[in-house]
Structure formats: structure tokens, C-alpha cells
Structure 1
Amino acid sequence: MPRSPLALAALATVAIPGLDAFDVRPLAHSGADFDVAVVIDATGRRWVVRAPVRPAAGASLEAEVALLERLGEHVDSGALPCAVPRPAGFAHLPEGGRAVVHAEVPGAALRLDALRPGPGLTASLGRAIAAVHQLPVELIDGVGLPTYDADAYRERRMAEVDEAARTGKVPPRLLRRWEARLEDVAMWRFQPTVVHGDLTAEHVLTDGRTVTGLLTWGDAKVADPADDLAWLLVAAPEDAVDSIMEAYQLGRTELKDPHLTARALLAGELALARWLLYGVRSGDADVVDDAVQMLEELDAHTAVREDEASLA
């Protein structure tokens, strides 16, 4: 059973001695792995409490907490130009594991339709992602989060495509495209970096002018920097993408990766395969149907693009 907001508020008062909970509100977009609420104390300060709902989520939370403690140092030094959650207290759960409480990171969730070409928020977003990728990979060592070299990461993607193919639900033409790109070894010669691993509009906070915070670091790893750019290349307004990428490239030192954009676009497509696999593994027919529809639309769209290219 999910914990009620009142139960989460009680955990916050245990985690932060002296916290006088005045109000509590459930947090939208909290996901399936955590119960999350915002607790407002008597002084008006806002706190976020997160409690895992299953052991695997608890293990992920512990790794994320260890990483956040290290990331805070890079925020303080200015190397990371936006805030991250700072764990302030913990409450042990009866079933095992801990809930974590942190002060709410200021800002509102990014609206992709607010991105415009040029300086301002769009450039700030590119710089923030570049700063993540400039962090020392040693940050990930010893906190229970994975590290991949380029070959291992390509093999991981190939395994996902093979598993998706076995479902029989991926259009054959799309599979052939994916396999050809994964077999192109030159495309996968990249320098692994720290990646956030779960960048979405809900996890990027802004004040309307700059990126103020990045949330939800439980999927961080050392892997392909293209993964953190995929969602923007797929979903951001087309006229803003060039500004994002220009700011990103200016923020990276010694960036020599001619296939970065191509891998990012591929990563966006492979996200649909992972959505399909999630539906199959969980037995959720609605998710499977949704994934199949999106894969068919992608297949039709890429077929049109290839036809246009052949006629050019």
C-alpha cells in the first residue's frame, strides 16, 4: 500500500529533529518506485521526503544518496552550475531501508515549449548538461552505480535490441536500421562520461531564465553522454536544438565525438524498445500497445525520410 502524505510527513519529522510539519502535499510525477511528498514546516520551508516502495528502489536510493553527497561539493565549487538535492536526514522504515529528506530544490519543471533559440534558458540547459559530463568519472566509483566503457555499452544496447526483436513486435525495417547502427563500430568510439541517466522535463528545474536544479540521480552512471541529449533532440523545438548543442559543445573540453548526435537520436529510438520491454516484463498490455503504436509510427516516419533522401 502506498504511504499517505501524512505518513510521509511523520517520517520527515523523525528524519529532521525539530521539524514542525505544518502542511504536506503529494508530489506529482513521483514514479512507481517511491512514495514522495512535500512537507512545509511552520517557518514555510519546504522539504521533500522520499520513501522506497520496494527493496530494489531502496538500494538505488542508497547509491543516489552517496552520489549526491559527492555532487554537493561540485555544486559548491561552481563546477556544477545548478543545485542538486542535499540529503538532510533519514528515517528507518519498518520493512527495512530508509526514507530520505532534503530541502526542496528551487525552481519549476522545465517546459520544453518554452525553449527558444539563442542565449538564456536554452543555452543554460546545454551548459548544465555539459557540466554533468565534465564531472570526474571517479564520482561514480564506490557508490554502487555502474561504469561502462564504450564497447560494453554498445553490447548492452545490442542485447536490448535482441530482446526486443524476440518479442516479434518491432517492425523488421526498424530492427535492421538499429542493427546496422549498432554494428558500425566507428559510431561507438566515444569517451565515457558521468551521465545523469534520467533527464526529463520533470527532472530539470528552472526559474525561466536558467537551469536551477537537476533532480533524481538514481540512474547516474559512467556511460555514453549521448543518452542525456537524446530526449532533447527528440522532443525539444527544432529551432532550439542548435542553441542547446552549441552551448553544450562550448562547455565540453576536448570534445571529439563526430557521432554524438547520431547516437543521441538512436538512443531516443531505443527508448521505445525499452518501453516495450518494460511492458512485456511487467505484463502490462496497455504499455505494450502504446510502445507498439509508437514503434510503428517511428518506422513509418523513418521510411518517409529515407525515401526523401533517396530522391534528393
Structure 2
Amino acid sequence: MPRSPLTLAALATAAVPGLDARSAHPVADPGDYDTAVVTDDDGARWTVRAPRSPQAGAALEAETELLASLQLFADSGVLSFAVPRLAGFALLPEGGRAVVHPALEGTALDVDSLRPGPGLAADLGRVLAAIHELPRSIVDDAGLPGYTATEYRERRMSELDEAAATGSVPTRLLRRWESALEDVSLWRFQPVVVHGDLSPEQVFVARGRVVAVTGWSDARVADPADDLAWLLASAPPEAIDSITEAYQLRRTELTDTRLTDRALLVSELALARWLMHGVRHDLDDVVADALDMLADLDEATRDDA
């Protein structure tokens, strides 16, 4: 059962000495967490997150290890944006811990507002490149997963096989995706540190630039296309070049000539993963949503067949 904002405020009070909570409101969290922003008697705002399952708790523990390393890169200026600065922990009755950090500056990214040029779109490209330039040791030290290019391609193939077994994926899409997965040249990439779960809710913006990135529990060493896919799929077409050009200029040794092609493929395969999420958890509304999007994609790519 989800925890109420009042319960989360009590956890924040227990986690941070001197924090006197005055109000709390829930925040939608894309992960398996209860999240709220708590305001204290001085007007300061704090974010508290508590896992809903042992699996989410383990992911949160790994994320806290990673955040300690990321903080060093943010403090030194290697990263141009802030990450959550952990302020305290509160033990949960069922095991695990809730974490508390000062609320991040900015508002969630409005992807539709992106425009071409040297502004926010280009800054997004540089932010993604900076993440991908981080040393993989910070992921290894946090106990988060790492993959080779071959292993990651095999994961994608396994995901597609699982989705195909439902009989719900349009045949033409299956052929399209199978052909791309069999194209070995598409999968020649250097694995890098990736955020792994980027979305508008994870990227905070102020003054026309990215000021903070949160939600690092799915970080791993994997395909850089994972972090580009959501942007290339959802950003206005006229802003895409500004994102990709800034990204390429910020990367020091980028030889991945098929990165954009693979990112577009990854954005399509996300629909199959969404379908499987609904199937595994018996979420009829999610399954229906995924089927509608698969049908739309099948129609949109009909001329590509």
C-alpha cells in the first residue's frame, strides 16, 4: 500500500536532524517508490523516497552509492548539472531505508518547448555526452550492471522474442526489428555509463538550461543509444540536429556511426517492453495502450517495409 505524504514527512523528520516538517505533497515517481516533497519550518524543500519492494530497496541502495561518486563530478564542474545530495536515511519497519535530499532546483523538462539552436536542446546534448564520458568504475563500484555490446544486443533479442510470443506485435514490426537486430554493423558500439531511465520527469530545467538530473537507480554500463532514444522519439524534429550535434561535439572519442539509427530503433523497441510490462503485471490499461502505440507505429512505418 502506498505511503501517505504524512508518513513520508515523518520519515524525512527522522532522517535529517533538525528538520521540522510543515507540509508534504506527493510526487509522481516513475520507479517503484513512494516520493514526496516536504517543506520545513524555514521554507526549505526536501525530497523523500521510500521503496515499495525489496527489489526497489536494493536499487535505491545502489543508487545512493552511485550518487556519492556523481556528487564529486558535479562539485568539480565535470558535470554541469546537480544530482541529489543525500542528507539522511530513515530505517523502514519492513527493512530497507528511505532516503532524503534537498529538493532539486528547476522544473521538469517540457520536451515540446525545445527549439533549434544553441539553447536548451544543445545543452541536453552536452548533458547526455557528459554522462557518457564518466568512468565506468563509478557504476562498477556501486554494484550496478555492465554489459558488452554483444551482451546488450542479445538482451534486446531476448526481449523481442518474449514480446513476439504474446502474438500481439504486428508481423511487419517484428520483421523490421528482427532485421535490425541481425545487422551486426548496427551494434558496434563502445559501452558507456548511461542514466538508463531518462524522461522529462528526471531532467530539471531553469534559465534555459539543464540544472539537475535525478532518478539514477537504472544506471549501468550499456548502450549510449538508451539515453538518446527518448529524446529523438519525442523532441520536435527541428530540434534534433541541435541535440545530436552538441552531443557529438562534447564526446571526445565518438566513433559510433550508427548511434542515431540505433537510438531510433531503441525508441521503437520501448513499445514492446511497455507491452511486456503490462502483460507481466496484468495491467490491462497498459497492454491496451501498448497495442494502440504498436498499431500506430506499424502504420507509420508501412512505407519502410
Aligned mates of 2:205, 2:32 — CA distance in 1: 25
Instruction: For 1:1-80, list aligned pairs within 5 A.
Output: 1-27=1-27, 29-31=28-30, 33-80=32-79
User: In the aligned structure 1, how far is the partner of 2:178 from the partner of 2:151?
Assistant: 16
Q: CA deviation at 1:258?
A: 0.7
Total equivalences in the alignment: 305
Q: Deviations over 1:90-134 (max 9, x none)?
A: 000000000000001101000012111001111111110110000
Which residue is equivalent to 2:139? 140
Q: Secondary structure at the match of 1:164?
A: helix
Cα deviation digits, residues 61-103 of structure 1 (max 9, x gap): 0011110011000001111110000111000000000000000
Can you list the C-alpha shifts for 1:154-186, whole angstroms capped at 9, x where unaligned? 000000000000000001111011011101111
Following superposition, the deviation at residue 31 of structure 1 comes to 3.3
| 1:30–1:36 contact (8 Å) kept in structure 2 | yes
Distance in 2 of aligned mates of 1:278 and 1:208? 36
Q: Secondary structure at the match of 1:90?
A: strand
Partner of 2:87, secondary structure, is strand
Query: 2:32 corresponds to which letter in structure 1?
Result: D
Give per-residue Cα distances to partners, 1:201-234, cap 9 Å, x unaligned. Answer: 1110000411000010001000000110001111
Q: Percent identity?
A: 62
CA separation of 1:273/1:253 partners in 2, compared to 1, >3 Å: closer, same or farther?
same
Q: Secondary structure at the match of 2:30?
A: coil
- 2:249 corresponds to: 250
Match of 2:178 in 1: 179
For the 8 Å contact 1:48–1:103, the answer to whether it is kept is yes
- Per the TM alignment, residue 32 of structure 1 is displaced from its structure 2 partner at its CA by 5.5
CA contact (8 A) 1:121 1:208 kept: no
Name the counterpart of 2:292: 293
* Shift, 1:24, TM fit: 1.3
* CA distances 1:29-76 after superposition (whole Å, capped 9, x unpaired): 223611111111111111000011111110010011110011000001
Separation in structure 2 between the aligned mates of residue 182 and residue 208 of structure 1, nearest angstrom: 41
TM-score of the superposed pair, with normalisation by structure 2: 0.98
Question: Partners of 2:193 and 2:113 in 1: how far apart?
Answer: 27
SS in 2 for 1:280: helix
How far apart in 1 are the matches of 2:100 and 2:244? Answer: 34
Cα distance, 1:262 vs structure 2 = 0.5
Three-state SS of the structure 2 residue aligned to 1:87 is coil
Aligned to 1:284: 283
Which residue is 2:149 aligned to? 150
Q: What residue ranges of structure 1 are gaps of 5+ in the alignment?
A: 308-312
The answer as to 2:212 corresponding to 1:213 is yes
> 2:152, 2:26 → 1: CA distance?
37
Is 1:228 matched up with 2:227? yes
CA distance in 1, matches of 2:84, 2:167: 41
Distance in 2 between the 1:255 and 1:213 partners? Answer: 25
Q: What is residue 310 of structure 1 aligned with on the other side?
A: none
Instruction: Give the Cα separation in 2 of the matches to 1:235 and 1:162.
Output: 26
* Structure 2 residue aligned with 1:95: 94
Tell me, in whole angstroms, the C-alpha distance in 2 between the residues paired with 1:77 and 1:121: 22
Q: Separation in 2 of the partners of 1:30 and 1:201?
A: 12
SS of corresponding position for 2:301? helix
Deviations 1:127-147 (A, max 9, x none): 101100000011101312110
**SS of the residue 2:196 aligns to:** coil
SS of alignment partner, residue 212 of structure 1: strand
SS class of match (1:276): helix
Tell me how far apart the structure 2 counterparts of residues 114 and 299 of structure 1 sit (CA, whole Å).
27
The equivalent residue for 1:271 is 270
Normalising by structure 1, what TM-score? 0.96
- After superposing on structure 2, the runs of 4+ consecutive aligned residues of structure 1 that deviate more than 6 Å are none
Q: How far is 1:285 from its partner?
A: 1.5
CA distance in 1 between partners of 2:249 and 2:26 (Å): 39
